[in-house]
Chain A
Amino acid sequence: MRNLDLMLSLFRWSFYGFMCIFAVDVTVSLFTAFGVFDIIAWLLIVFGGIFAIIGALGSLRFPDFWSRLHAASITDSGGVILLLMGMGMHSGWNLVTFKLFLIGAFLFITGPTSTHAVANAALVSGLKPPRQLRADLERDDD
């Protein structure tokens, strides 16, 4: 029994060692085949996609409108910044980078504006904030 445990731990640690060697090998071959900026661009694009999914999931699952507003602004800030920066670093310096910068600047101006317009219209039309927040606001007024 003790020999079995020893053997299993031996297998386990050799597996970890092989995985470490494999990870180092993949990383070294990636950095030799491509530049550092390519790797950074891919990381930015992958994390931008993940941020887009996080924002959409929050916008689907959150309980009321005001928290859904917060979740939708994650995509408008994090996803847009990361994806556009990743695409710009992947393309290099040319006209495409200028177009990406133009799209980013425009989304940066219009995203908060339209979010504020939606929130203001909802508040004016009488959609109340949730009960706990309302109680906190009334207690601050007193």
Chain B
Amino acid sequence: MFETMPHYVFLFAMICLFIAMVLVLIRLYNGPTLYDRVLSTNSFGTHTVLFIGILGFLSGRPDFLDIALLYALINFVGTIAILKFFRYRAIGDALEKREADK
């Protein structure tokens, strides 16, 4: 009876993370301000990292954790890039402007 207990546990965590991702996506869809959407995107990325790890353990191949690590890196860089873009309306040329001001 309990031979497949780890599968049930990982499946439960996966369903929990899926419901949480759907809730965060609803907030992402009707967030009133921009910062709600950025926060929801960041939270969705964290959920995705955990989801990929759980999926690797559920399918018996924990090598998926490399993809989860890569996704965590991309998620952080993406959040900072979105914030910087909406602050300066450009990602690349803020430094050149500062040098031109001197």
Contacts and interface: CB of A to CB of B under 8 A. Distances in A.
Contacts, number: 146
Contact of B79 (A45, A60, A117): A117
A60 B33 contact: no
A14 interface: no
B3 to A, nearest CB: 8
Contacts of B21: 56
Which of B39, B49, B83 gathers most chain A CB within 10 Å? B39
B94 interface: no
A100 B53 contact: yes
Contacts of A68: 27, 36, 39
A59 to B, nearest CB: 6
Contacts of B80: 114, 117
Interface residues of A, number: 50
Nearest to B16: A49
A59 B2 CA distance: 36
Given A99-B65, A106-B73, A118 B23 contact: no
30 contacts: A29-B2, A33-B2, A38-B6, A46-B12, A49-B15, A52-B47, A56-B19, A56-B21, A57-B23, A59-B39, A69-B39, A72-B39, A76-B43, A79-B46, A80-B50, A83-B50, A84-B50, A87-B54, A102-B69, A103-B49, A103-B72, A110-B72, A111-B46, A114-B42, A114-B76, A117-B80, A118-B35, A118-B39, A121-B86, A122-B35
Q: Which 3 A-B pairs have the closest CB atoms?
A: A49-B16, A56-B20, A49-B13
Interface of B: 2, 5-6, 9-10, 12-17, 19-21, 23-24, 26-27, 32-33, 35-36, 38-40, 42-43, 46-47, 49-50, 53-54, 57, 62, 65-66, 68-69, 72-73, 75-76, 79-80, 83, 86-87
Given A45-B12, A46-B12, A83-B50, 12 more contacts: A42-B6, A48-B50, A52-B17, A59-B39, A65-B32, A72-B39, A75-B47, A76-B43, A90-B6, A99-B69, A106-B73, A118-B38
